[in-house]
Amino acid sequence: MELENSNPNIYNKVSERNITADEEDDSVVDEIDSREIFDLIRGINDPEHPLTLEELHVVEDSLIFVDNRNNIVKVLFTPTIPHCSMATLIGLSIRVKLLRSLPPRFKVSVEINPGTHVSENSVNKQLADKERVAAALENTHLIKVINQCITPLTMNRKRA
């Protein structure tokens, strides 16, 4: 398969989370915050490159919004190029990862960072339609591809 974006910009990873004494104290309620969401999705692989969404700046900590009290998580992602045909698949991978990781009370929305994709409205509408997402996730081929994206490369490398 020919790569759509053969030479993407690669960025440095952010540093690992500093674990504070409070966070190790089980008696302290540790609310889900944007950094925690970021840690869940930063390791998702790009469908084309052996790089993570973090390394391609597709996801960034500053584009994640959490309203813990109202159960809302919103993730904006930036496709590497404005006509990226993988945008829906990337968004779907982020949705599935969060669906599996977060408590079901959360309403997760995954949208394209405004102005970074030529068909952002249609991709956003599709990603927000839970019926179409549910149907897509019953597609065995698609779920296999998504699972490959979600399984961290670093984990594979370590295993290897």
CB atoms within 10 A of CB 80: 21
Q: Which of 32, 102, 128, 153 binds other proteins (CB under 8 A)?
A: 128
Segment 87 to 116, residues that bind other proteins, using CB under 8 A: 104-105, 107
CB nearer to other proteins: pick between 23 and 129:
129
Q: Tell me: does residue 131 bind other proteins (CB under 8 A).
A: yes
Burial of residue 38, with CB atoms counted within 10 A of its CB: 0-12 exposed, 13-18 middle, 19 or more buried:
buried
Contact by Cβ (8 Å): 78, 33 = no
Q: Which is nearer to other proteins, 105 or 144 (CB)?
A: 105
- CA distance readout (Å), 41 to 21, 37, 46, 121: 24, 7, 11, 22
Residue placing its CB nearer to other proteins in the complex, 134 or 160 = 134
- By beta-carbon proximity to other proteins, the closer residue of 49 and 74 is 74
Closest approach, Cβ 158 to other proteins, in A, equals 33
Q: Please report how close the Cβ of residue 125 comes to other proteins at its closest, in angstroms.
A: 7
- Per the document, the length of the chain is 160
Task: Select from 20, 135, 148, 151 the one that contacts other proteins (CB under 8 A).
Answer: 135
In this complex, which beta carbon is closest to other proteins, that of residue 77 or of residue 106? 106
Give the DSSP letter of residue 4: S
Q: Where are the beta strands (DSSP E) in the chain?
A: 64-67, 72-77, 107-112
Extract the tokens encoding 74.
Answer: 């919103």
Binding residues vs other proteins (CB under 8 A): 104-105, 107, 125, 128-132, 134-135, 138
